[in-house]
Structure 1
Amino acid sequence: MMGLEDGFSGSYDPADVTFLLKAVVLPCVDVEEKEAAIQSGRRHYSEMLAPERAPTREYMRAFREAFEVNRARVGRDVARLAKALALRGADETVLVSLARAGTPVGVLLKRALAALGRKATHYSISIIRDRGIDLVAMRAILGRHSASDVVFVDGWTGKGAIGSELAKAISNDIPDLAGAPLCVLSDLAGVADLAAGDEDYVIPSAILNGVVSGLVSRTVLNDEVVGPGDFHGCVVLDYLADMDLSRWYVDDQMEDVLACLHNAEPASWSREERSRTAAVSTAFVESMLVQTGAKDRNRIKPGIGEATRALLRRMPERLFIRDPNARDVGHLMFLAAERGVAVEADPGLPYGACAVIKTLGDA
């Protein structure tokens, strides 16, 4: 049975995070082969990884522009979340970020809480849609920390699938964590307990993959490499080390957090705000299913963050953009042009972007 001593920090400073993941070797599959296997039901998406390539020079320019445009916003939102978490009054805040998107946010929150004089510990673990949270990792955490101190962290929500998966796991498998909140920068689905808001804006760490998330791959759960007592798996992306921005990003972004921290108002996310946001999300997904003829809601990827991930590692058919000239979607326009994905402008879109995954065969 793996325990906390088996964790590692990836390319982050060990003081920033402990990944409770098992480093594995897993052959990559072609993106089209992977998509066909997922849609046919032959394989679950968590059993496979497509190759993660180094970002091009042009794409890095788009990332750096998005970072400069949004760094102050991210800094303010992290500061507001940290202020809210500090008010919980716990002796220690145990941040459990959901790998990978939650990890950079978790690092920033840990540093911000330390700047506020609060003790914080940060772990990053796996949660997989339809497969649940990594119970081996969670039991290791609860063997050392109080359940009342746990706060789950993610970058954003799209349709709320991971938030629902988390709620289900807590209800069915870890009832001691019933009071543990889910904390995100932007809650497009209205499923988080604490959020800085629901505006769809570019969170810079969403634009890149492993090179801004500690050089770890998306998490995997494949019986060939992950046993019953193991943490969920990941591939360590050492071959991208020359491109790694993980420490650079949190160091630079932290300057903005600290600039806002003293005067930031604690974030609040009321039940009414969550309900309103959830209603918009549900209605939008249903309308997109009708408009595009997609039969599976998992192929609708609302929001800039989810659309970015779809263009980076899936086979998108169409990209809907509210304003093609907005600076927040420059990287999406670049990716769509690079991959030959049709772009449709829709000024009435409630989000900055939405990607729709291509249907293969009769799936």
Structure 2
Amino acid sequence: MTFSGSYESRDVTFLLRPVQLAPTPVEEKERLIQSGRRHYSELIGTESPPDGEYLALFQAAFDRNAHRLASELVRLSRALAERPGRELVLVSLARAGTPIGVLLRRAAEMQGRRAVHYSISIIRDRGIDEVALDHILERHAASDLVFVDGWTGKGAIAEELERSVGRYARSRGVVLDASVVVLADLAGVARLAATSEDYLIPSSILNATVSGLISRTILNDACVGPGEFHACVHYEHLAPADLSRWFVDALTARIEALRTEPAAPLAWTEAHRAGLRSVSAAFMAETQSRWGISDPLRIKPGISESTRALLRRVPDRLILRDPDDADVRHLVHLARRREVAIQVEPAMPYRAATIIRATKGAE
């Protein structure tokens, strides 16, 4: 089954299987994941509509950063439009990559390039959805595929993409570019990015209600059988709070206004990426040593990753470079609401980072 969630059908095809899966309470989910009894992809938490105060923080973030985001999308789309090939086949990583994929598809078409967009699942430690890739490659040339995500934190998903797509390509006898294109690459692992700055991408504030009303992707034996796409829950009950179309439509208007304006081409060099990787590795090593953390997966660097952790995980502490920074106001709000300790580190290379609490016996 293919569907488009709450987006227009021309904007995205989700290669996901909608299922019903009861949510697991967040504390129990964290305990099961950290104990190794369940993989994170086997469980989902509860998603509720954001309250008025949080929506106001989202709107303020959008108003503050929409022009920058639109400008960066224009620059990315220009770079992608220059790729050789019959068409641009955008393959976004659901779900953080989905709204970015929608916008890049629209922006590429404004540049006169035929573009299609699929959104598929990738699971850390379990890989890309190979059934979804088979579906795409039955319809498009392998050389036209471009993988898209929203951002990188410490680079775990980008590394998973390289491993699993490389393995898939070898098994199918095809050549695929297994690198990723993102808006913001903090870890220096993306083939192409608009920036390496840790700034607030507005879509990172919300979950399903800015991502077509789909859940994080699911991979377990009860939901996914042989030959089936990875699964998701389609949160139709959140439709009254859905901002997915509003978000992409509002940004499309800004992209349209900017698309003919001159802009410097993206300068994304290997030397720059290497510097980012060095900063990331040093930050992770220092944070693990300082807090006695053996599992690096408990560390979530950057505003976007910190937001996801505070929304979906059991955080131990939120670390901020500047608690008065407008781009971290929503993090302060979430931390206070969940009674999470806030620590200020002015010398930190990122504007925010979150440490996940260790469950009993996990460390």
Q: Per the shorter chain, which TM-score range?
A: over 0.9
Tell me by how many angstroms 1:174 deviates.
1.7
Paired residues of 2:321 and 2:348 also in contact (CA < 8 A): yes
Alignment of 1:174-193 (within 5 A): 174-175=169-170, 176-193=174-191
Q: Are 2:154 and 1:155 aligned?
A: no
List per-residue Cα deviations over 1:190-242 (Å, max 9, x = no partner).
11000012000010000000000000000010111110111000000001000
1:45 to 40, 44, 47: 40
2:243 to 242, 245, 248: 245
Name the counterpart of 1:132: 127
Name the counterpart of 2:13: 18
Amino acid at match of 1:94: V
- Distance in 1 (alpha carbons) for counterparts of 2:198 and 2:354: 14
> TM-score by structure 1 length?
0.97
Alignment of 1:74-89 (within 5 A): 74-89=69-84
Q: Are 2:342 and 1:343 aligned?
A: yes
**How many residue pairs end up in the alignment?**
358
Paired residues of 1:84 and 1:268 also in contact (CA < 8 A): no
Name the counterpart of 1:319: 318
List per-residue Cα deviations over 1:95-122 (Å, max 9, x = no partner).
0000000000000000001101100000
Paired residues of 2:161 and 2:178 also in contact (CA < 8 A): no
Q: Are 2:330 and 1:331 aligned?
A: yes
Structure 1: any 5+ residue segments left out of the alignment? 1-5
List per-residue Cα deviations over 1:34-61 (Å, max 9, x = no partner).
0000010000000000101111111001
Paired residues of 1:147 and 1:180 also in contact (CA < 8 A): no
Tell me by how many angstroms 1:177 deviates.
4.1
SS of the residue corresponding to residue 16 of structure 1 reads: coil
Tell me by how many angstroms 1:258 deviates.
2.1
- Distance in 2 (alpha carbons) for counterparts of 1:213 and 1:177: 30
Paired residues of 1:94 and 1:145 also in contact (CA < 8 A): yes
SS of the residue corresponding to residue 72 of structure 1 reads: helix
Amino acid at match of 2:189: V
Name the counterpart of 2:205: 207
- Distance in 2 (alpha carbons) for counterparts of 1:128 and 1:285: 22
Q: Are 2:51 and 1:59 aligned?
A: no
Name the counterpart of 2:164: 169
Paired residues of 1:148 and 1:180 also in contact (CA < 8 A): no
Name the counterpart of 2:307: 308
- Distance in 1 (alpha carbons) for counterparts of 2:177 and 2:306: 31
Tell me by how many angstroms 1:253 deviates.
1.2
Paired residues of 2:16 and 2:230 also in contact (CA < 8 A): yes
Paired residues of 1:148 and 1:179 also in contact (CA < 8 A): yes
- Distance in 2 (alpha carbons) for counterparts of 1:153 and 1:225: 25
Structure 2: any 5+ residue segments left out of the alignment? none
- Distance in 1 (alpha carbons) for counterparts of 2:164 and 2:257: 37
- Distance in 1 (alpha carbons) for counterparts of 2:80 and 2:189: 18
Amino acid at match of 2:185: D
- Shift of the 276–89 alpha-carbon distance from structure 1 to 2, 3 Å rule, reads same
- Distance in 2 (alpha carbons) for counterparts of 1:11 and 1:177: 33
Paired residues of 1:219 and 1:233 also in contact (CA < 8 A): yes
> TM-score by structure 2 length?
0.97
- Distance in 2 (alpha carbons) for counterparts of 1:17 and 1:340: 38
Q: CA RMSD in A?
A: 0.9
Tell me by how many angstroms 1:288 deviates.
0.8
Q: Are 2:263 and 1:264 aligned?
A: yes
Paired residues of 1:82 and 1:113 also in contact (CA < 8 A): yes
Name the counterpart of 1:3: none
Amino-acid identity (%): 54
- Distance in 1 (alpha carbons) for counterparts of 2:19 and 2:267: 39
Name the counterpart of 2:286: 287
List per-residue Cα deviations over 1:68-127 (Å, max 9, x = no partner).
111011111101100000111322000000000000000000000110110000000000
Name the counterpart of 2:139: 144
- Distance in 1 (alpha carbons) for counterparts of 2:295 and 2:139: 40
- Distance in 1 (alpha carbons) for counterparts of 2:21 and 2:152: 28
- Distance in 1 (alpha carbons) for counterparts of 2:141 and 2:126: 25
Name the counterpart of 1:102: 97
